[in-house]
Structures are given as structure tokens and as C-alpha cells.
Amino acid sequence: MKKVNLTINGEKIQVPENYTIIEAAKEMGINIPALCYDPDLDKVGACRICVVKVEGARNLVASCTTPVAEGMVVTTEDEDLVETRREILRLLLDNHPNDCLSCEKAGECKLQEYAYKYDVKFMEHDGARRNGKIDTSNPYIYRDDSKCILCGKCVRTCGEVAERRVLSFGERGFNTHIVADYDNALAESSCVSCARCVTVCPVGALMDKRAIGKVRSWEAEKQEVKCTVCEYGCDFELLKKNNKVISVRAKKPGEGRPLCLKGRIAVDLMYNEEAEIPFVKKDDGFVESTWEEALGLDKIISKLQK
């Protein structure tokens, strides 16, 4: 791959020509703040918090979507950029519940992290507020729309699997929100509970329902494990407290394979001593099941027993 030379914050660097500015900065150990960016998803430049200055450009540019170019000179943080980031955060927090004290995501929430970094408080402007719905219909996923910042990462990750595409943006403007199918409750939608969307959500809008109230990320000891149900080996994380596994959560799909419900519940069963009863979706919604049925092993086991 051809390389290009550019300067970031006064330091010279050479990177492959297909890099974006945010990727080049990362090579230098500079983490430009970003809410909608994920290296594994399509880049959309929606949240604008990653804007940087490029010498000669008329406007600030989104570093996640702007490709590097030979001779480019970039500034990733100065007074103007900090003020721009602060204003974006103010607008997001104006429409956000002031709930960090009891929110499950506290300690690993990107909105909380950047609000702290750039010293932005809740609700600095007056005006109308959006009222998000809470959807508890799915036994594995808790959705709190009032915390959604419309970064679209859940929509993009769900849409990567062609036959899935459960999530999308519904309505417009101020009323825009994330919908499942035709604005159904998650349990009544075509969602397969793979938890890819939960894994990428940067805030507390999508959470692992079974982990709620058990342990928060900052107080847990963490251990990365791989699913062994199939050869792709998706990544999972055990959250432990006092040497005991309290919760198992999906981290990242294996190369070329989306996370699947079977892998997720199998990892839960393998590592979690107090794994909860699994649910399976039948015609009349989610019903409590057995591990054998949930893992698709019931017929094999009954044959072996015979």
C-alpha cells in the first residue's frame, strides 16, 4: 500500500494512503474523541465531535471520514476545537436524563467521559426535551431511548447482516428515534437477541438486561474469553467480583461472523456459576426454556439417551 506523509499536531507521520485522519492520529497515540465512529463499521461522520482543523480547509472536517493526503497538516485540539466539542456535548446533554449516579453505563460511557473531559454540565440550555421510551420486552436487552444520542452505531451493526436489519431511524428532526422493525417492542420485532447493538452502544441506551444491578464495569475484574461453539471464536468478557463471575457480556464478533444468540448463552452457561434460565422465542413471544433447548441440543441428547 502506498504511504503518505502528513503532520499532526506538529509531528510528522507516514501512514497508508487509505487511512482516515482519526486512524493516523491513533497511530501516534492521539485519541480524537468520537461517538459515532467504530473502526469495524461504516464511517458516517454524524456526531461531529471528532472534527479537526486541516490547513487550507475552509471548515472543520470530521476526522473519521476524511482521508489522509500527502502534505496534510492537521491540528486535533485547540481552543476552537474544544469549544466546538463542548457545544456538541451541551446539545446532547440538554436532551439527556441526568442519571449518571444510577446508570449502569457509568464508568464506561463515552458521553460521560467527554462531558468530564471538556467540563460540560447537564442542561445548560432551556428548551423542549425529548421523552424516550423504555423497552423491557426482551429478556436479554434493556432499551432506554431517553439516553440514546442517535449515533446510529446499533443501526449499522444490525444492518451488517443482510437478512436482519431490525433497527433503523424512525420519524424525523427532533422526534427522530431508533425503531425496531415498524416501531415494535424489541420482543415483538425480528430481533434475534445477538447483542451486537448492545456491544457498540457508547451510552446507556442499550444494556445487557441480565447484568443490570449486578456489577458495574469500573468495580469489576475483567477477563476476556472466546466462544468455542463454532470456529469463528467471538470475544466475550467475564465481569468478576470477589473472584466470582457475576456477568458475561458480548464484546466483539469473530472475523466475518456476527455474534449469535447461541454463542452468547453458551458462554454464559460455561462461565457463569449462577447463569439464569434461558429464554427462547416462540409464536407467543419469549418463553422460559431449558439450556438443552436453547442451545439446540435437546434432540441430540434424547438420541444419546436412547
Do residues 187 and 138 lie in contact, with contact meaning Cβ atoms separated by under 8 Å? yes
Stretch of 70-78, 195-203, 208-216, 227-235 lying at the interface with ligand SF4 (CB under 6 A):
195-203
Q: Residue 61, interface with ligand SF4 (CB under 6 A)? A: no
Nearer to ligand SF4 (CB atom), residue 158 or residue 245: 158
Name the minimum Å distance from CB 40 to ligand SF4: 13
Name the minimum Å distance from CB 151 to ligand SF4: 4
C-alpha span between 61 and 48 (Å, rounded)? 8
Q: Residue 221, interface with ligand SF4 (CB under 6 A)? A: no
Q: How many residues touch ligand SF4 (CB under 6 A)?
A: 38
Helix axes 110-117, 79-94, angle to 10 degrees: 130
Local structure of 251: helix, strand or coil: strand
Do residues 242 and 275 lie in contact, with contact meaning Cβ atoms separated by under 8 Å? no
Amino acid at 70: E
Q: Residue 147, interface with ligand SF4 (CB under 6 A)? A: yes
Q: Residue 91, interface with ligand SF4 (CB under 6 A)? A: no
Q: Residue 298, interface with ligand SF4 (CB under 6 A)? A: no
Angle in degrees, CA 148, 153, 159, rounded to 5: 125
197, 214, 223 from 220: Cα distances, Å: 22, 10, 10
Stretch of 63-71, 77-85, 161-169, 212-220 lying at the interface with ligand SF4 (CB under 6 A):
161-169
Q: Residue 96, interface with ligand SF4 (CB under 6 A)? A: yes
Nearer to ligand SF4 (CB atom), residue 82 or residue 169: 169
b/e map of 128-167 (b: 16 or more CB within 10 Å)? eeeebeebebbbbbbbbbbbbbbbbbbbbbbbebeebebb
Angle in degrees, CA 298, 302, 277, rounded to 5: 35
Q: Residue 153, interface with ligand SF4 (CB under 6 A)? A: yes
Residue choice 32, 54, 62, 191 for contact with ligand SF4 (CB under 6 A):
191
Q: Residue 111, interface with ligand SF4 (CB under 6 A)? A: yes
Residue choice 196, 209, 210, 249 for contact with ligand SF4 (CB under 6 A):
196
C-alpha span between 279 and 262 (Å, rounded)? 11
Give the footprint of ligand SF4 on this chain (CB under 6 A). Answer: 96-97, 99-100, 103, 105-106, 109, 111-112, 141, 147-154, 157-158, 164, 166-167, 178, 191-197, 200-201, 203-206
